[in-house]
């Protein structure tokens, strides 16, 4: 039997502080990632997991520092949350990035990606990105979720309209992949 409280997930809201990430108008990636990361953490905590964050406010840490936070706290898993962007605004969809294909990180990525597609995002798949610092320097299985394109109005509307469902996609996708039973927050609250 797996003791859920012994499993620590480090959640990384991409960018922050002086680094806004992708920007469209007044919308900044750093704000979207923080909103979604806090939701994912709330759901994972309610499911009995231990959650730490690389940030919970609008603060900047380098990608290396974010990896160090996860490593120092001996996290068992690392989930980084981002939004994509292109100059012309036509690209859309969600994808999950991993350091290399193979292992539990790919199972987590596939499980999350499948749920993103089910909830309306164009399926851009799971891709290896070995040069991304937060994937390269973390010592635990790590994934980086690109939750739609901030440069695409349809993706941003989907992000806003389904923020809670998207948070559940990440939490459930992760828990399903590592063999843990997921319960939605409303279900947990009803049972108390």
Active site amino acids? 146
The angle that helices 104-118 and 163-177 make with each other, rounded to 10 degrees, is: 150
| Strand, helix or coil for residue 1 | coil
Kindly write down the DSSP assignment for every residue of 82-99, as one continuous string. EEE--SSS----EEEEES
Three-state secondary structure call for residue 62 = coil
Angle between helices 153-161 and 163-177 (to 10 degrees): 80
């Amino acid at each position: 039997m797996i003791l859920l409280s012994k499993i620590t997930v480090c959640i990384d809201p991409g960018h922050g502080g002086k680094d806004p990430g992708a920007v469209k108008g007044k919308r900044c990636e750093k704000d979207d990632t923080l909103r979604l990361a806090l939701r994912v953490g709330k759901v994972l905590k309610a499911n009995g997991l231990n959650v730490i964050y690389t940030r919970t406010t609008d603060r900047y840490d380098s990608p290396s520092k974010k990896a160090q936070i996860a490593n120092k706290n001996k996290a068992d898993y690392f989930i980084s949350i981002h939004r994509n962007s292109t100059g012309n605004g036509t690209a859309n969809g969600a994808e999950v990035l991993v350091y290399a294909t193979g292992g539990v990180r790919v199972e987590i990525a596939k499980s999350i990606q499948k749920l993103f597609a089910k909830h309306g995002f164009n399926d851009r798949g799971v891709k290896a990105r070995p040069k991304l610092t937060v994937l390269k320097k973390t010592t635990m299985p790590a994934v980086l979720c690109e939750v739609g394109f901030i440069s695409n109005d349809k993706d941003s509307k989907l992000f806003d309209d389904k923020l809670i469902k998207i948070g559940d996609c990440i939490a459930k996708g992760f828990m399903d992949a590592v063999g843990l039973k997921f319960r939605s927050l409303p279900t947990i609250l009803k049972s108390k």
